Structures are given as structure tokens and as C-alpha cells.
Structure 1
Amino acid sequence: MNSTAYSRPSKLPGGAGDRRPPTRLRGFASKIEPKKLGAGLLAGCCLALLTYVSLAKLFAIYSPVFASTANTSGSQEPGVPEVLSRKEDEAEKAAEAAATSVPNPSAEGGGEGAALAKMSCDENGEDEGFPYARPSVCELSGDIRISPKQKTMYLVNPSGGGGFDENGEKRLRPYARKDDFLLPAVVEVTVKSVPSAAAAPQCTKTHRVPAVVFSVAGYTDNFFHDNTDALIPLFLTASHLKGEVQLLITNYKPWWVQKYTPVLRRLSNYDPINFDADAGVHCFAAGYLGLYRDRDLIISPHPTRNPRNYTMVDYNRFIRSAYALRRDRPSALGEAPGMRPQMLIISRGGTRKLLNLEEVAAAATELGFNVTVAEAGADVAAFAALVNAADVLLAVHGAGLTNQIFLPTQAVVVQIVPWGNMDWMATNFYGQPAREMQLRYVEYYVDEEETSLKDKYPREHLVFSDPKALHKQGWQALAETIMKQDVKVNLTRFRPFLLQAIDKLQE
């Protein structure tokens, strides 16, 4: 019994000097006392362990750092502690916390997800300096259960708060263009506030990333609108999540999803869910219904729509990255003997054709360009590579000019603007976006003698006498007249604009 755990002082207290305990008493103590001490120590350890376990359970229930893993299914991994990250950027808290450590929304009784239930909607449709009203967008956090079959997002919301109607619902058509003509064809999604988890359908799959529900209805078979009404709004809404987001697409078009797979994969690490066909119940702790948007091909800072201050330069870099376009600067003229700048002329097969395209290409070649003529097709990746290889992009006003998003920074865009007071459309749809992407911009305005309208209408017609009046009549009147023209540029007038393009490459 020489263990230090039971050792005694070599001298007894009280000044007893060198006296030692009697041998009999010392022997008795050596036989009995360790047993009592051992039993007491064992009882004390058990009591301490019981206390620790009780406190740990209490902490696990009430601490915001842990969440129960009960009733999880699908992609959620049981037994993983979930830490709610604290971010400096208030605008990113809900979404980024969901991306890194989403609380378990499927736990019975609501739990933390219910306590955090929140829905905030941006319904300010006013669009500064632009004729199209912006769409409504809602952000949700808490216990969110999405049933595509029922076209419903359930929010476990014991408090009943939020921007719901008297039925506890919020209805929204998640297409990123608020157009009264288009919206009836967009699937309507309902956000339904429910008082408890028991009132919502049970999860068939639980996701650890936020959800984004949006529509690809409307004009999305047009490359301009594919970007303005879907891809750029999706970039604004989800790119900060760095791939940790689940896309749910309504008005689902398989060909559209396939066409833009490189972009969708760049935005999300997960296959998109067909919101029109999926029969499951998908559970999230954060999500968006609808997409944020700005003007067409223009992104401006805004406290709610664009709190991270993205620009079209960012989108240009993003889209080049999605299609693995490595060229980020145009050719530096004069650096290599015999170097010729590359010009891509986008041809059109419908209206607004460049009737003397071959003569324009010959004039550009004579001035020193290597000229390629091509029409954009369904293979976006192939055409993107062709555009990215160009130093100068030339086209008549139309959706083909949207391909400027693939150009290297500081390349040149030349827009041929048709007759008919088209300056506002030319500038806002393509001219200003080019400048916003730090591209150099040249525009050429067609005169009365260069438009095919002169062969169709007398000079006293509104097309010539007051084209602005046609604009005031609305898009249909415009589409039937001015937008149906072709152009044949006067090469004498046009040549100086080609020289401008060369000059801008040398700036």
C-alpha cells in the first residue's frame, strides 16, 4: 500500500514530534481504510459521470450549436455536428449558414428550424430608368418543405408571422421578368405557413444546402432572354453560395437545361430538380422563391437585389469560366510583325440582315482584319469559343449581340443600329452593357437610304416621318414595322467606323 494516492504525512499534526502510530492501529488502518476510500471514490466518479451526461443532454437540446439528427433522410448525414457559422455580411447569414451547417428541418415539433422561421420578400417592382417592372422575390429560412407535386413550399412557422395573406399563404410566379403577358404561363408556387412540423408533409430528402426555385418559361428560347431572364438573375441570386445550392426549375425544359449545363454546373454542385415532375418532399433550412434581377444585361449595386455589388465584369468572367474560355484580353496590335486583329461578324437568318455582308467583310479585310462570318446556333459552347477568339465583334442590332458576354475584356463591339429611332434600345440593350463589361463600343446608325424600309413604305409614312410614334404604339406595332427591316450599309460611310474599331484596340 505504498501508492501516492493513499500516502499520509510522515508526521502527525499537533506537534507530536517523532511519535508513530501504534503498530496495531497502523495495521488495521492499512487493511480497512483503502477499501472505504475506494468505494467512496467509485461512488463519487459515478455521480460525476451521471451529472456530466445529464448536463450534456441538456446542452445538446438547448445549445444553438448542436441540432438533433433524428428523422433525417436523403442526403443528410446522421451524426454530424452542425455548427452555425457567424458571418460578417448580414445579407449572407441565412444562405451561407444553410450551405455549411443547415439545421435539421425534419425534426418533429419544429425545433430550431421553426424558431428561425422567416420570410422576407422584395416586391418593389419599380425599375429606375427602365420600362419593365422587376419581379417579386422571397427569401425563406427555417424548416422549409418543398412539395413540387403540390406546387407548395411549406414553412413551419409557429408564430404565424411574415408577409402571408389571411389564409397563411403567399403566391408567386418565379419568372425573372414581370410581364403581364407572360406571367399567366408561369407555374404559380405557393408558400404556406403552417403552425407545426406535423402540419407539413414529411421529408423524403433533406438537403444541407439552400434551395432556389425559379422558372424558365417566357422568352427563354431566345439567347438575349436566356441571359436577362434566367442566367444573370440566377448569377445574382446564387453565385455567392459557391455551388452549394440546389436548383429547382419549374416550366422545366430539358433541352434548355442541357443547353446551359456548363452554366448550371458552375452555379450548383447538384443536378437540378424538375419542379414539374418530382414527387418527393425536399426539406431545406433556407431558400429563395424567384430570382433577383436588374436591367437587361446590366447589373448595378443595390442593397437588396445586389448587396454584394456584382457587376457585368463579374458576370463576364463567370460566364467565360463556365465555358472554359481562357482568353481575357484582345490582341495587342503591333507586338508581333504581321499580326492582324480578329473580327467576327454575326450573320442573321431572319430580319435585320446585313444585306451587303460580303462587301463589309471585304472592306474589313482590306483594312487589316482577319474576318470570320458565323451565325449563332444551338451549340453555345462552340459559338462562345468563336466569340472569345475575336478582338472585334460586329453585328446588326439583335439577340446575336448578347454574345458579347464571351468577349475578352477590352475587346471591341460594333453595333449597326437600324433605322427608326432605335437609339434607346441600342444603347440600353447592348451599348451600355458593353461598357459595363469594360468592352470598347462603336455604334453605327443606319440612315434612310440604308434601310430596306424605303422599298416598303412611302417617305410620308410614320416609319420615316415620326418613328417615335410607332414606339409609343407598343411592341407589336414596332415588331411589325421597324424590327422587320434589313440594312445595306454605305461602305463610304461605314469604313471610318471600322477604323475606329482598330483605333480602340490600340488604346
Structure 2
Amino acid sequence: MLKELGIADCLVLPDRRSAVMDDTLRRLGWNPDTVRRIPTDRPMVAERLTLLVTDRFRPDLLRRAGDALRVKPSAPATARVYVSRAGAERRRLVNEDEVWPLFRDAGFERVRMEDLSFPEQLALMGRTAMLAAPHGAGLTNQIFCPEGATVIEMADPGFPNPNFYATACAMRHDYAIVEAESVGGSPSKPVERDLYVAPRRVAAALEAAGL
């Protein structure tokens, strides 16, 4: 969009950025070493500042982001991927060892996104036809899946958060939610609580997905 508006050379970003952010810049055609940086030791003054934001309710922008970064596989996407949160500090699936065999027997591979580099994540999602995970950031990677993928989210409907449903709609994916229960932690901080999902609910969701 910046390039279409003719203001791509005016991009200003934080001085401190993660490797993923810099890799994303390269893939979008920017050299991370030459973009303007916001200094950390003094104010930055601009006569005019335009803040670019996006959210789950802008399908056109989400699709453009996915198209710009998605890895196009040489063959149709067939992979089934289960994103584990076992290494996370919160929102873990406490009975993952109980439900994982259901996914495994349905042909899923289990990954931890934090163990993969950004290019590896893109390559994996580029060949993914079905993506399943407990509610968490790993489901954001669905924007890199080919259009029409199936997204299965395990989440507590008592803590409604439509982020990944809305993202799936924006990307034209099929979406299913598997009802889970929040456990442990404080009810006043639902975003920090772990999840429990009944195996029978997972089995029903997989059957509904044709597996």
C-alpha cells in the first residue's frame, strides 16, 4: 500500500526490532538497514505522521498481507498441522497428551511455532490444508495458509474472543470451534487461564471435518 501511494521511502520503524520483523521487511522489499528508525534516546519530530494499522475486520488488508508473504507450494497443500502451546506460559492445553493421539491418528503433525524460524513457519503454512490449535497466537499463522484451509480452534466460549474466527472469515477459510473449559488461574484474568478440552469434542470436530 505504501508503494502504491508513493510514500514507501517514508517508512519509520522502532530502532529495536525482532529478527522476524526484519525478515518480514525484506520479504516486502525493504532493506531493514536503510529504513528510518525511531531513536530511543530522544524525541522524533514529524510535520506529518500517518499511522498504518490493520485489524481482523479488514479482510482486504489481511488478504493482501497473506498474499505478499505466503509461500506458494509446488503441489497442492495437504499438510495437517497441530500447533502446541505446551511451551507457553499460559493458555496451555492441560490434557494435550490425552487429545494429541486423536490428531496424530488423523494425520496431523505437531509443532511449536517458537521452535521454527519465520521462513520455516511460512513454508509450513504454505503447505497446510488443516490447522488446529488451542486459542493463541499460533492461529495467526492461518493468514499464510492457502485459501480454503480448515481452521480448528479449541477455546472457551465463556471467554468470547472472535479474533481467529474473524481472521478465518477474512482469509476465506473454513472454521470450527471446539468447546473447551478454562481451568486454573484467576477467573478475573481469563486470558491467562489454561484450557481443558474433552476428547469426545475433538473427535467430533475431526469427524465433522471429514477425518
TM-score relative to the length of structure 2? 0.79
Number of aligned pairs?
Answer: 203
Equivalent position of 2:22 in the other structure: 261
Whole-angstrom CA distance in 1 between matches of 2:98 and 2:22 = 38
* Correspondences of 1:220-369 after superposition (within 5 Å): 237-241=1-5, 244-249=8-13, 251-253=14-16, 255-256=17-18, 258-270=19-31, 271-276=34-39, 289-294=49-54, 296-299=55-58, 310-320=60-70, 325-327=71-73, 330-331=77-78, 341-348=79-86, 349-366=88-105, 368-369=106-107
Amino acid in structure 2 at the alignment position of 1:352: R
Equivalent position of 1:407 in the other structure: 145
Whole-angstrom CA distance in 2 between matches of 1:489 and 1:372 = 17
Determine if contact 1:392/1:411 at 8 Å carries over to the other structure.
Answer: yes
Query: Pick from 116, 119, 134: which aligns with 1:396?
Result: 134
Determine if contact 2:99/2:199 at 8 Å carries over to the other structure.
Answer: yes
Instruction: Please identify the structure whose Cα radius of gyration is greater.
Output: 1
> In the TM superposition, what is the alpha-carbon distance from 1:491 to its structure 2 partner?
0.8
Whole-angstrom CA distance in 1 between matches of 2:147 and 2:6 = 23
Pair 1:248–1:343, CA change in 2 (3 A): closer
| Unmatched segments (≥5 aa) in structure 2 | 41-46
Which 4+ residue blocks in structure 1 deviate beyond 4 angstroms?
Answer: 241-244
Query: Pick from 438, 443, 449: which aligns with 2:177?
Result: 443
Equivalent position of 1:487 in the other structure: 195
Residues 157-216 of structure 1: CA distance to partner in whole angstroms, max 9, x if unpaired? xxxxxxxxxxxxxxxxxxxxxxxxxxxxxxxxxxxxxxxxxxxxxxxxxxxxxxxxxxxx
Amino acid in structure 2 at the alignment position of 1:315: A
SS, match of residue 289 in structure 1? coil
Residues 84-141 of structure 1: CA distance to partner in whole angstroms, max 9, x if unpaired? xxxxxxxxxxxxxxxxxxxxxxxxxxxxxxxxxxxxxxxxxxxxxxxxxxxxxxxxxx
TM-score relative to the length of structure 1? 0.36
Determine if contact 1:444/1:494 at 8 Å carries over to the other structure.
Answer: yes
Identity %: 21
SS, match of residue 196 in structure 2? coil
Matched, 1:500 2:204: no
> In the TM superposition, what is the alpha-carbon distance from 1:444 to its structure 2 partner?
1.3
Pair 1:377–1:370, CA change in 2 (3 A): closer
Pair 1:269–1:402, CA change in 2 (3 A): closer
Whole-angstrom CA distance in 2 between matches of 1:313 and 1:398 = 20
| Unmatched segments (≥5 aa) in structure 1 | 1-236, 278-286, 301-309, 332-340, 458-462, 464-476
Determine if contact 1:413/1:439 at 8 Å carries over to the other structure.
Answer: yes
Determine if contact 1:356/1:488 at 8 Å carries over to the other structure.
Answer: yes
Higher RCO (C-alpha under 8 Å, 6+ residues apart): 2
* Correspondences of 1:101-250 after superposition (within 5 Å): 237-241=1-5, 244-249=8-13
Pair 1:247–1:490, CA change in 2 (3 A): same
